A = this chain, B = another copy of it.
Amino acid sequence: MKKGSKISNAVIKRLPRYRRYLNELKRKGVDKISSRELSDLIGYTASQIRQDLNNFGGFGQQGYGYNVEALYNEISSILGLDKEYKMVIVGAGNLGQAIANHTSYYKAGFVVCSLFEVNPKLVGIKINDIDVRDCEELVPYIEDNSIDIGIICTTKDAAQEVADKMSFAGVKGIWNFAAVDLEVPETVAVENVHLSDGLHSLAYHINRNHYFE
């Protein structure tokens, strides 16, 4: 990436998708790909792709296309996926457990260090070998273990209080599965998960009976 250049949030949101498709191409042994071929694959227009990838410079060559591996590595590095992140999950219900069990995060450098729960029946158990602790211990645990990311899998009502504690204790980012907009300090990044968006897109395609990605 060019030093000091600023990439828009919309582009950042598209990068993980580019990276997924590039990974797939790498696995298939593809060395280079044109913006038009990428367009067919990913579903963005070729001009959008060229514009997006121009942010990093130097990978597309007229008449040659993009070097798949170099572009994959560059995007991974821009996203910060060459580092390790320590995470905690608050809320050890079904969703929190599902995430704790999702071991592919670990391979990608996202390590769940502990879960936290208010329900005394769950405090003290282990999920995927990870301890479930009392929510009272959340702040000191984050401080003592330099946790980077807090994952909120609580109810809507509890989410803001949990976000306040996480922010106070010093997490750098919050991955929020509760359907509520959180207020956090400007130094804390928030990524909201809106599962229903996918279901709503699906409803459109069902009605139109189109095939799509």
Contact = CB atoms under 8 A, between A and B. Distances in A.
Interface of A: 9-10, 12-13, 15-17, 19-20, 24, 43-45, 78-81, 83, 85, 93-95, 97-98, 101-102, 104-105, 108, 110, 148-149, 172-173, 175, 179, 181, 186-207, 209-213
A199 B179 contact: no
A181 B23 CA distance: 13
Given A186-B211, A189-B206, 5 more contacts: A9-B212, A12-B201, A98-B98, A175-B199, A189-B211
Q: How many copies does the complex hold?
A: 2
B191 A79 contact: no
Given A93-B98, A196-B16, A207-B80, A202 B179 contact: no
Contacts of A201: 12-13, 15-16, 79, 191
A186 B209 CA distance: 9
Contacts of A193: 195, 198
